[in-house]
Amino acid sequence: MATLKDVAQLAGVSPRTVSNVVNHQPYVAGETRARVEAALAALDYRPNQLAKSLRTGKIGLLGFVVPDLAQSHFARLAAEVVQAATARGYTVAVDQTHGDIERERRLIQLGPRGAMFDGAIFHPEALRAEDIEHRESEFPLVLVGERIAGDHLDHVYIDDRAAAYEATRKLIADGHRRIAAIGLRRADYARTAHLREEGVRAALAEAEGVAGGHHQYVERYDAEDGYEAMANLVDSAERPDAVICFNDMLAMGALRRLHEHDVDVPGDMALVGFDDITEASFSFPPLTTVAADHAEIAETAVKALIGRIGDPGGAVREYLVSHRLVVRGSTRG
């Protein structure tokens, strides 16, 4: 097995320089870094993680926790987090909570699997703001998604209210006058759903001659709930001519129900989703959806977490990630 000295000898540099490259330190000249990286590859060098953890107090392992890996949005985000962390010399272990609030509370106190990690990126589903406020652990943590962290934890998010507002304005501009939403949540902790609802209602309130209503509450953001929610709309005497779903899986279920009722999309009813999952571009018709860049979210979260690990007492930061409306065949225009 190659050692730092072996790599240094091949690259014509000191072992300290090799160590700086391996540990992603910035103060190595570009030409020197390239020479060292070539030597590392030629000798198939593998760092001794045990020795490194004993020396630095860091393990080189990050956690990524999501509600449900069966949902394409979270699976895709996990793949991007792994890629972003690997590029920085970290390994990632992925876990899921299925929205169990007690499990989520334990994880923010102890970290995944008893804090055998340097830190974790966490996408909560059931946590409340007070759970974050009363957190006593100093385990490095970055939240993604639900905006419940306040000034207690670093947080990566999109502007959900603005995104839902823009999607609704698109439907209004296309001539739709009866617009409903699927995905409202009654739980006070479901901040993302509440923000998206606010965006829809704000756009409807501004538009003359446009009716909102028959908005559908759901328990879960999955295709089954979307399918059942659309049943309440498609059989209504005041059936909407456009529906915005608060994630793409809800939209997939809703689309299935519309096909079963021979409702033309978008001729009789337009449909918009959120998340831009892979299936959105392969549905029939392809789904118009609000897209946040999964790679940007992952890059931002991994960089924020590594920064937090290196500076535990630094100021808490919020990171706003851009979004865009991807227009496909489920809407006009």
Most distant CA pair in the chain: distance in Å?
A: 80
Which run of H or of E encompasses 212? Answer: strand 211-212
* Distance in angstroms (rounded) separating the CA atoms of residues 205 and 1: 68
Report the Cα–Cα distance between both ends of the chain, in Å, rounded: 60
Sign of the CA dihedral with 272 first, then 273, 276, and 279 last: negative
Residues 13-38 pLDDT 10s: 988 888 888 776 767 888 888 999 89
For residue 25, which of 46, 65, 1, 56 has the smallest C-alpha distance?
56
Could you tell me if residue 279 is left (phi over 0), alpha (psi between -120 and 50 degrees) or otherwise beta? Answer: alpha
The pLDDT score that the predictor gives to residue 66 is 94
Alpha-carbon distance of 240 to 320, in angstroms, equals 33
Which parts of the chain have pLDDT scores under 50? 50, 53-54
Identify whether the C-beta of residue 145 lies closer than 8 Å to the C-beta of residue 81: no
DSSP H/E element including 180:
strand 178-184
> For residues 218 and 55, what is the distance between their CA atoms, to the nearest angstrom?
50
Six token digits for residue 155 = 């947080």
Bridging pattern class, strands 318-320 and 61-66 = unpaired
CA–CA gap between residue 224 and residue 62 (Å, rounded) = 33
> What pLDDT is recorded for position 50?
46
Q: Check residue 319 and report its DSSP letter.
A: E
CB 58 within 8 A of CB 118: yes
Amino acid 54: pLDDT: 43
> Residue 188 has which token pair?
């006070």
CB-based contact 178:216 (threshold 8 Å): no
